[in-house]
């Protein structure tokens, strides 16, 4: 179906707010990029309109006419799957007076009726009817401009739905580029190469959204910000193997784990090389969770060595796959950063479960492994992330001091031989390097300067 | 490993089995039933006082004493959906067995739990206590409403909802064998959810 493209009337004037080269330098950034509401407002179009943004996972709308509500930047959306399976990201905004049409988080509906004056829209965004149409000089349902606005480009990669308003953005798979490899590996470790989203740990902090993205590949904060977590995970002194992220405790830069910048703002922290390369190597460092000994002993007794790979399915995959600007796959979570205001952000840690795609696990093992997987996933948000977001809030507070202007991201900068540029253009360095911050903020700056071709569209 | 060690739920988690989950789900389904309500005022008063005592102990941050109110094989469950859901296939805001409850307390006691440095001050009001009988004589279900005023980081906020307590007799003493805390905003983003509810 060909869709009519409409230039967004609100297209940013791109009046330069600041000299971005002054605020974003090679090894430091100015506090204003976190504290100025005008910068935030510009980001909501330049970044959250100008590049591909994660919207939802296909498993959240598996059936025809399923929908969930979401956001693109601050734009309220209804992400729908129509009768034929096509996915759209509709603006949750009545074309009459601007009211949000849908106030539920999720559901199944062919249409949405505005609660204010009763305008009725199909889940394709098309206006189906208005009350007492005789009161209008024209037939509104015949005029495209009354159909709901929608994100003009919506594409999926292996279940992950992204959207952008930028008509000139590269196709999604090109845009993802090298980050697809770890994303593929993250999916392919599960049966059938797929995961199902299942509820979430949902946190809010009073700080700028970039503080979470700055943190997403940060190996330097681990043993300090998460000191209470690491002590808790390792509180049984008789445990032969150190648990969780204990490997960060002594000279983490000498370990085989690494940080890699993957282009277009994406980056990848790979801690897998620290593990023993064997089935059960991941499970061996999993911290202690409800039901783990029960399931472990039961599976080992019944399945012998095969139990180890089953248990690994419940283990927290030691990677951080960060897709700029708002998606982070870590452990088994799909974490989404949702900006609310310049100093307020929601971080939603969607859990994932697995399916017994090829029937090799059986119902009992599937139930046990998923139950264990739920419990492993609850661990970090409860015992780790709460300390991080507290620190993010305290950064925002510290940045209130106007004369002390700079924030540094120079760890690993300008040290000969420390960082490698690989043949595919990706950049690799030791685990605690801030190279990913320097690189992603360069992409941020490029987008903030860009005169992107921002558009919305409506059904014809 | 000897059986006695294996049965120490503060150290090893053997009791959280599929049967344990199924029983938990069953006990927390369709239990608020007028036909099962306990009219005896002395018994109602007994459980009301236990719920109030728990609130007092938590307000005073006496975590070790709080743990002693629970049976060894307990569950502490804060669902992420208003319906409670199936914890085997859904992430909960919190789902702790005995060991993880002790982890929670241990973390708060490390001195490095930045989300509780300094600790929140809380004032809990528990009310609307109703007691329900169960098929097992040694079990009661108790519903109560709560309103926790929490002072942290210069502000007071309110956490509100209702609690389902599953009490069981443990060596002749009523203890909490499961607590389901139903936050009104359990499916929304919550700032710093790090106190014990």
Identify the band that residue B4 occupies on the pLDDT scale cut at 50, 70 and 90. Answer: low
Helices within A136-252 (DSSP H only): 172-176, 180-188, 209-215, 222-225, 227-233
Contact A289, A375 (CB under 8 A): yes
Percent of chain B surpassing pLDDT 70: 97
Q: What local confidence, expressed as pLDDT, does residue A203 receive?
A: 98
Q: At residue A11, does pLDDT exceed 70?
A: no
Helices within A333-434 (DSSP H only): 362-380, 386-398
Q: CB A387 to CB B115 under 8 A?
A: yes
Among A312-321, A348-357, B3-12, B139-148, name the one with the lowest average pLDDT.
B3-12
Whether residue A258 is found in the same domain as residue A336: yes
Q: What local confidence, expressed as pLDDT, does residue A240 receive?
A: 63
Q: What local confidence, expressed as pLDDT, does residue A249 receive?
A: 81
Whether residue A291 is found in the same domain as residue A338: yes
Give the number of residues written for chain A.
460
If DSSP codes are grouped into helix, strand and coil, which group holds residue A202? strand
User: What is the chain B residue with the closest CA to A333?
Assistant: B91
Distance of CA A200 to the CA centre of its chain: 13
Whether residue A322 is found in the same domain as residue A232: yes
Residue A239, chain B, CB below 8 Å: the answer is no
**What burial letters (b/e) apply to A300-322, b meaning 16+ CB within 10 Å?**
beeeeeebbebbbbbbbbbbbbb
Beta strand A196-205 with B190-191 is parallel
Q: At residue B91, does pLDDT exceed 80?
A: yes
Distance of CA A419 to the CA centre of its chain: 26
Q: What local confidence, expressed as pLDDT, does residue A180 receive?
A: 98
Whether residue A125 is found in the same domain as residue A78: yes
Structure tokens at A369: 């492994």
What is the average pLDDT score of chain B?
96
Q: Provide the CB-side half-sphere exposure for A353 (13 A, CA).
A: 23
**Could you give the number of structural domains in chain A?**
2
> Which chain B residues touch A391 with a CB distance below 8 Å?
114
Handedness of CA B40, B46, B47, B51 (dihedral sign): positive
pLDDT per residue over A387-428, tens digit each?
Answer: 999 999 999 999 999 999 999 999 999 999 999 999 999 999
Identify the band that residue A55 occupies on the pLDDT scale cut at 50, 70 and 90. Answer: very high
- At residue B88, φ and ψ (nearest 5 deg) are -75, -20
For chain B, the domains span: 38-183
| A428-434 average pLDDT score | 97
| B71-98 average pLDDT score | 96
Which one-letter DSSP state was computed for residue B15?
A: S
Structure tokens at A23: 């605020």
Whether residue A155 is found in the same domain as residue A212: no
Among A95-104, A110-119, A233-242, A424-433, name the one with the lowest average pLDDT.
A233-242
Structure tokens at A376: 């492993």
Whether residue A251 is found in the same domain as residue A225: yes
State the Cα–Cα distance between residues A219 and A223, nearest whole angstrom. Answer: 9
Residue A193's region, left for phi above 0, alpha for psi from -120 to 50, else beta, is left
Q: What local confidence, expressed as pLDDT, does residue A62 receive?
A: 98
Q: CB A288 to CB B103 under 8 A?
A: yes
Is there a domain that residue A65 lies in?
yes
Is there a domain that residue A106 lies in?
yes
Q: Which domain holds residue A396?
A: 177-447
Distance of CA B38 to the CA centre of its chain: 21
Q: What local confidence, expressed as pLDDT, does residue A247 receive?
A: 82
Q: What local confidence, expressed as pLDDT, does residue A244 receive?
A: 79
Q: CB A291 to CB B89 under 8 A?
A: no
Name, in order, each residue with C-beta under 8 angstroms of A381's C-beta and a sequence gap of 6 or more. A201, A203, A349
Q: What local confidence, expressed as pLDDT, does residue A2 receive?
A: 45
Q: Which of B14, B100, B188 sits opposite A294 (nearest CB)?
A: B14
pLDDT per residue over A218-275, tens digit each?
Answer: 999 999 999 999 999 989 866 566 887 788 888 899 999 999 999 999 999 999 999 9
| B32-36 average pLDDT score | 96
Structure tokens at B97: 């067995």
Q: What local confidence, expressed as pLDDT, does residue A3 receive?
A: 54
Residue A236, chain B, CB below 8 Å: the answer is yes
For the domain with range B38-183, which CATH number is right: 3.10.450.50, 3.30.70.20, 3.10.129.10, 3.40.50.970?
3.10.450.50
Q: What local confidence, expressed as pLDDT, does residue B112 receive?
A: 97
| DSSP-based helix, strand, coil % in chain B, nearest 5 | 30, 35, 35
State the Cα–Cα distance between residues A294 and A55, nearest whole angstrom. Answer: 38
pLDDT per residue over B119-178, tens digit each?
Answer: 999 999 999 999 999 999 999 999 999 999 999 999 999 999 999 999 999 999 999 999
Residue A197, chain B, CB below 8 Å: the answer is no
Is there a domain that residue A290 lies in?
yes
Concatenated DSSP letters of B145-177: EEEEEEEETTEEEEEEEEEEEEEEEETTEEEEE
In the block, residue with structure tokens 């049984």: A236
State the Cα–Cα distance between residues A270 and B183, nearest whole angstrom. Answer: 36
Q: What local confidence, expressed as pLDDT, does residue A17 receive?
A: 82
Q: What local confidence, expressed as pLDDT, does residue B83 receive?
A: 83
Q: At residue A14, does pLDDT exceed 80?
A: no
Is there a domain that residue A229 lies in?
yes
Name, in order, each residue with C-beta under 8 angstroms of B149's C-beta and a sequence gap of 6 or more. B122, B123, B124, B156, B157, B158
Name, in order, each residue with C-beta under 8 angstroms of A341's C-beta and a sequence gap of 6 or more. A37, A40
* Exposed/middle/buried for residue A97 (C-beta within 10 Å: 0-12, 13-18, 19+): exposed
Residue A308 sits in a domain of what CATH number?
3.90.380.10
Whether residue A187 is found in the same domain as residue A135: no
| A361-371 average pLDDT score | 97
Percent of chain B surpassing pLDDT 90: 95
> Which chain A residues touch B70 with a CB distance below 8 Å?
none
Q: CB A227 to CB B112 under 8 A?
A: yes
Q: CB B89 to CB A203 under 8 A?
A: no
Is there a domain that residue A377 lies in?
yes
Q: CB A288 to CB B99 under 8 A?
A: yes
Q: What local confidence, expressed as pLDDT, does residue A10 receive?
A: 45
State the Cα–Cα distance between residues A89 and A72, nearest whole angstrom. Answer: 9
Whether residue A271 is found in the same domain as residue A321: yes
Q: Which of A201, A290, A351 sits opposite B100 (nearest CB)?
A: A290
pLDDT per residue over A292-317, tens digit each?
Answer: 999 999 999 999 999 999 999 999 99
> Which chain B residues touch A106 with a CB distance below 8 Å?
none
Residue A139 sits in a domain of what CATH number?
2.102.10.10
Q: What local confidence, expressed as pLDDT, does residue A238 receive?
A: 62
Write out residues 371-430 of A within 8 Å (CB-CB) of B. Answer: 371, 374-375, 377-378, 382-383, 386-387, 389-391, 393
Whether residue A391 is found in the same domain as residue A299: yes
| A137-162 average pLDDT score | 97
| B29-48 average pLDDT score | 96
Q: At residue A327, does pLDDT exceed 90?
A: yes
Kindly report the nearest CA distance between residue B151 and chain A, in angstroms.
15
Q: What local confidence, expressed as pLDDT, does residue A8 receive?
A: 45
Cis-peptide into A325, omega within 30 deg: yes
Indicate the residue among A139, A165, A191 that finishes a domain. Answer: A165
Whether residue A385 is found in the same domain as residue A265: yes
Whether residue A272 is found in the same domain as residue A196: yes
């Amino acid at each position: 179906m060909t869709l009519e493209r409409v230039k967004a009337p609100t297209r940013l004037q791109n009046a330069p707010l600041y000299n971005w080269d002054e605020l974003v330098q090679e090894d430091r950034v100015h506090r204003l990029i976190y504290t100025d509401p005008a910068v935030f407002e510009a980001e909501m179009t330049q970044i959250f309109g100008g590049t591909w943004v994660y919207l939802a996972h296909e498993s959240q709308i598996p059936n025809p006419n399923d929908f969930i509500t979401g956001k693109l930047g601050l734009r309220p959306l209804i992400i729908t799957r129509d009768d034929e399976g096509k996915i759209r990201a509709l603006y949750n905004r009545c074309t009459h007076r601007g009211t949000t049409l849908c106030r539920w988080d999720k559901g199944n509906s062919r249409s949405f009726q505005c609660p204010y004056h009763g305008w009725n829209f199909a889940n394709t965004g098309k206006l189906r009817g208005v009350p007492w149409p005789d009161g209008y000089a024209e037939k509104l349902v015949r005029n495209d401009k009354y159909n709901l606005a929608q994100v003009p480009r919506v594409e999926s990669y292996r279940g992950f739905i992204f959207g952008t308003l930028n008509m000139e953005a590269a196709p999604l798979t090109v845009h993802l580029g090298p980050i697809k490899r770890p994303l593929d590996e993250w999916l392919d470790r599960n049966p059938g190469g797929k995961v199902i989203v299942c509820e979430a740990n949902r946190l809010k902090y009073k700080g700028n959204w970039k503080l979470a993205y700055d943190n997403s590949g940060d190996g330097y904060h681990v043993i300090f910000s998460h000191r209470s977590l690491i002590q808790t995970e390792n509180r049984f002194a008789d445990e032969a193997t150190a648990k969780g992220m204990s490997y960060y405790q002594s000279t983490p830069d000498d370990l085989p784990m690494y940080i890699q910048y993957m282009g277009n703002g994406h980056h990848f922290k790979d801690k897998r090389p620290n593990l023993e390369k064997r089935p059960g190597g991941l499970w061996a460092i999993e911290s202690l969770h409800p039901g783990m000994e029960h399931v472990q002993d039961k599976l080992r007794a019944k399945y012998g060595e095969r139990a180890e790979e089953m248990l690994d399915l419940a283990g927290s995959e030691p990677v951080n796959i960060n897709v700029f600007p708002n998606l982070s796959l870590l452990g088994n979570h799909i974490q989404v950063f949702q900006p609310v205001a310049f100093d307020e952000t929601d971080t939603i840690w969607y859990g994932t479960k697995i399916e017994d795609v090829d029937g090799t696990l059986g119902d009992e093992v599937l139930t046990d492994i998923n139950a264990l997987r739920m419990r492993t996933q609850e661990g970090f948000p409860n015992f780790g992330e709460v300390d991080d977001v507290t620190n993010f809030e305290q950064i925002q507070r510290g940045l209130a001091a106007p004369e002390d202007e700079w924030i540094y991201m120079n760890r690993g900068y300008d040290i000969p031989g420390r960082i490698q540029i690989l043949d595919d253009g990706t950049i690799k360095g030791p685990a605690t390097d801030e190279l990913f911050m320097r690189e992603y903020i360069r992409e941020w700056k490029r987008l903030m300067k860009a005169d992107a071709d921002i558009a919305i569209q409506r059904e014809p | 490993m000897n059986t006695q060690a294996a049965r120490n739920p503060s150290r090893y988690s053997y009791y959280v089995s599929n049967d344990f989950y199924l029983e938990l789900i069953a006990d927390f389904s369709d239990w608020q039933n007028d036909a099962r309500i306990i009219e005896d005022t002395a018994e109602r008063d007994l459980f009301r006082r236990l719920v109030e005592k728990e609130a007092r102990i938590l307000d005073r941050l006496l975590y070790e004493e709080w743990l002693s109110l629970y049976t060894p094989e307990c569950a502490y469950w804060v669902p992420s959906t208003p319906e409670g859901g199936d914890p085997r296939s859904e992430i909960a805001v919190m789902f702790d067995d005995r060991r993880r409850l002790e982890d929670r307390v241990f973390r708060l006691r490390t001195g490095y739990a930045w989300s509780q440095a300094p600790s929140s001050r809380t004032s809990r009001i528990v009310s609307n206590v109703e007691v329900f009988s169960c098929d097992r004589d040694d079990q009661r279900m108790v519903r109560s409403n709560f309103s926790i005023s929490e002072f942290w980081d210069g502000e007071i906020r309110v956490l509100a909802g209702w609690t389902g307590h599953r009490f069981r007799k443990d060596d002749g003493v009523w203890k909490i064998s499961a607590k389901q805390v139903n936050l009104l905003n359990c499916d929304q983003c919550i700032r710093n959810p790090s106190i014990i509810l």
